[in-house]
């Protein structure tokens, strides 16, 4: 069954680090390099069976019928709605297990080039590093960092979108102490930043730091339950003073679980109560139930079904909303037709409700409430162990209370990848 879908427990990329990391007060690249060195070089330096060091290269060609995600009323903004573009990617995946430690890392560079709208060309990247550490029989945890640069969504910019890239950075560390065969406690901390490349989108930049405490229990059948208290302190550092509040505090009371329900069915979930409070403007606050539930079902040795549902809040990408409430569900399926051919299908629905009064009145601009529906179908062929060819199609639509944000699109792609 492992051959059906590649393990989505992510290989975390590692590569060139930024000059400044987003912990409050800043941390130098050299300081983080010391962390990487500790993970990589203070451990036994011999490889064993199962360790991987795998370079890869891929090229994907896309056709999109509505590249800018424009509404019907905006078609005259561009000479053509459609475009083709190519994505050339190269990178490296590492999975190293010296003794009881595990280092997972990867790095990739992505060159995106458009045929018609070449002003949207950009270079993206994805760097990640994670050290799963263990000390004795009772202490374990993770230390890691991620950084990615990608183009911001063309569907969330009014009028003709600009070429804006978003760099997201995440630094995290946590530790667990197993004080009983079935019980453990843990502490964690993280720092996240999101930075836009254009001045027009700079007010959407944000920074947040979080701390968490967890109490966990493992059942006799191997299922896991955890209670968690988490607090996030956030800031929009580049929002104009007219927005009044640039700071918020978010407190979460969560119950998390991982369940082995049967030999064919597993589930994961989080349900909790979330409170977001702004410094001075209470009309921007949020409180309510949030959560996410997902499940994997293996009807046979060659088929897999996945399902997820969620209700979560996120930082807003609109200037007239301080947060957005996202509610959605998704369903996916995969079928291993032969040892070399896999068919996949996915569908999703999401409602995004933009809320929270920012204190800014923009004539004619209301807070968005929109539904997005999308689906995809793809076929993967592996003629030899190191090569994969994928073809697929996708379609979607968005219906908004602002007609200018409605759109429909269709896209197709073909991709070739080699792993060495």
Here the CATH number for the domain that contains residue 415 is 2.40.160
Whether residue 82 lies inside any domain: the answer is yes
Nearby residues of 25 by Cβ (< 8 Å), 6 or more positions away = none
User: Taking the model in full, what pTM does it have?
Assistant: 0.81
Number of domains composing the chain: 1
3-state secondary structure of 308: strand
Please tell me the predicted confidence (pLDDT) of residue 20.
32
Whether residue 11 lies inside any domain: the answer is no
In angstroms, what CA-CA distances link 94 with 8, 38, 105?
15, 16, 5
Please tell me the predicted confidence (pLDDT) of residue 131.
97
Please tell me the predicted confidence (pLDDT) of residue 358.
59
Whether residue 3 lies inside any domain: the answer is no
DSSP letter assigned to residue 137 = T
The whole-angstrom separation of Cα 108 and Cα 60 is: 15
- Burial code (b: 16+ CB inside 10 Å, e: under 16) for 34-58 equals ebbeebbeebeeeeeeeeeeeebeb
Total length of the chain: 420
Please tell me the predicted confidence (pLDDT) of residue 3.
40
349 contacts 371 by C-beta, under 8 angstroms:
yes
Please tell me the predicted confidence (pLDDT) of residue 217.
97
Whether residue 155 lies inside any domain: the answer is yes
Whether residue 323 lies inside any domain: the answer is yes
308 contacts 275 by C-beta, under 8 angstroms:
no
Whether residue 14 lies inside any domain: the answer is no
Domain around 296 = 20-419
Please tell me the predicted confidence (pLDDT) of residue 366.
76
- Burial code (b: 16+ CB inside 10 Å, e: under 16) for 297-335 equals bbeeebebebebbbbebebbbbbbbbbbbbebebebbbe
Task: Identify the H or E element spanning 151.
Answer: strand 139-151
Whether residue 8 lies inside any domain: the answer is no
Whether residue 148 lies inside any domain: the answer is yes
| DSSP strands (E only) in 261-386 | 265-278, 286-297, 303-315, 323-336, 341-355, 369-384
Please tell me the predicted confidence (pLDDT) of residue 363.
61
Please tell me the predicted confidence (pLDDT) of residue 285.
84
The tens-digit pLDDT sequence of the chain (420 residues) is 434 433 333 333 333 333 333 333 333 444 344 444 444 444 444 456 668 999 999 999 999 999 999 998 888 888 999 999 999 999 999 999 999 999 999 999 999 999 999 999 999 999 999 999 999 999 999 999 999 999 998 887 766 678 999 999 999 999 999 999 999 999 999 999 999 999 988 988 999 999 999 999 999 989 999 999 999 999 989 887 665 578 889 999 999 999 999 989 999 999 999 998 887 777 778 889 999 999 999 999 999 999 999 999 887 756 667 788 999 999 999 999 999 999 999 999 999 998 876 566 566 667 889 999 999 999 999 999 999 999 999 999 999 998 888 999 999 999 999 999
Nearby residues of 192 by Cβ (< 8 Å), 6 or more positions away = 22, 168, 169, 170, 171, 207, 208, 209, 210
Beta-strand pair 102-114/83-96: antiparallel
């Amino acid at each position: 069954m492992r051959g059906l879908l590649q393990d989505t427990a992510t290989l975390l990329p590692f590569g060139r680090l930024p000059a400044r990391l987003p912990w409050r007060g800043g941390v130098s690249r050299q300081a983080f390099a010391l962390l990487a060195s500790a993970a990589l070089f203070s451990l036994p330096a011999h490889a064993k069976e199962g360790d991987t060091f795998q370079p890869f290269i891929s090229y994907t060609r896309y056709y999109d019928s509505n590249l800018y995600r424009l509404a019907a009323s905006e078609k005259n903004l561009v000479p053509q709605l459609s475009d083709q573009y190519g994505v050339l990617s190269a990178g490296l995946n590492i999975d190293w297990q010296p003794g009881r430690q595990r280092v997972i890392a990867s790095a990739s560079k992505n060159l995106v080039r458009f045929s018609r709208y070449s002003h949207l060309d950009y270079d993206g990247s994805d760097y990640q590093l994670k050290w799963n550490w263990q000390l004795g029989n009772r202490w374990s945890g993770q230390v890691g960092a991620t950084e990615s640069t990608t183009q911001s969504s063309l569907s969330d910019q009014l009028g003709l979108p600009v070429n804006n890239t978003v760099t997201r950075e995440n630094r995290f560390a946590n530790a667990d102490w197993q004080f009983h065969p079935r019980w453990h406690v843990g502490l964690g901390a993280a720092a996240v930043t999101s930075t836009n490349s254009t001045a027009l989108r700079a007010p959407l930049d944000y920074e947040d730091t979080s701390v968490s405490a967890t109490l966990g229990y493992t059942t006799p059948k191997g299922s896991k339950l955890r209670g968690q208290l988490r607090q996030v302190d956030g800031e929009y550092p580049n929002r104009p003073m007219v927005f009044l509040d640039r700071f918020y505090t978010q407190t979460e009371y969560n119950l998390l679980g991982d369940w082995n329900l049967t030999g064919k069915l597993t589930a994961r979930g989080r349900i909790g109560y979330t409170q977001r409070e702004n410094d001075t403007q209470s009309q921007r606050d949020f409180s309510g139930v949030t959560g996410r539930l997902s499940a994997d079902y293996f009807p046979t040795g060659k088929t897999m079904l996945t399902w997820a549902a969620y209700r979560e809040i996120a930082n807003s990408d609109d200037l007239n909303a301080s947060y957005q409430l996202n509610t959605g569900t998704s369903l996916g399926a995969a079928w291993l037709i032969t040892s070399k051919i896999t068919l996949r299908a996915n569908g999703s629905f999401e409602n995004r409700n933009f809320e929270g009064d920012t204190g800014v009145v923009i004539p004619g601009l209301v807070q968005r409430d929109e539904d997005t529906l999308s689906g995809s179908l793809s076929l993967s062929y592996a003629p030899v162990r190191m090569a994969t060819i994928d073809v697929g199609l996708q379609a979607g639509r968005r219906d908004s209370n602002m007609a200018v944000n409605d759109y429909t699109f269709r896209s197709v792609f073909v991709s070739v990848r080699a792993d060495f």
